[in-house]
Amino acid sequence: MNLVEVHFAEADKTVFVQPGTTLLDAAELAGVDIMTGCTRGMCGTDAHRLTAGADCLEPCEEHERGTLDRMGVGEDCRLLCSAKVRSGKVVVAGDALTD
């Protein structure tokens, strides 16, 4: 099984994780502090922009898509607690609402 590379641009930290790992779990493994709320894909506290690798993630589930739509953020955003890596390299750029 190939590991997935996840790079957190603001912290300049990279971690390699198993497919199926959430981006929030990857952040924790990399030592990157992410503000979270419910961690169920409903509150939107951990919405972040991706600058690469959106196609390397599993598709949005309905609850995550609903939260992102409600927030009015772009298609390049995902909730770190819900987005699971699949393959390749993902680059997390920064907070969806402040960057």
> What's the pLDDT score for residue 98?
81
Please calculate the CA angle 52-15-40 and round it to the nearest 5 degrees: 75
pLDDT at res. 42:
86
Domain boundaries, the chain: 4-95
31: phi then psi, degrees, rounded to nearest 5: 80, 25
- pLDDT per residue as tens, the chain (99 positions): 699 999 999 999 999 999 999 999 999 999 999 999 888 888 999 999 999 988 999 999 999 999 999 999 989 999 999 999 999 999 999 899 885
* CATH fold label, 4-95: Ubiquitin-like (UB roll) (3.10.20)
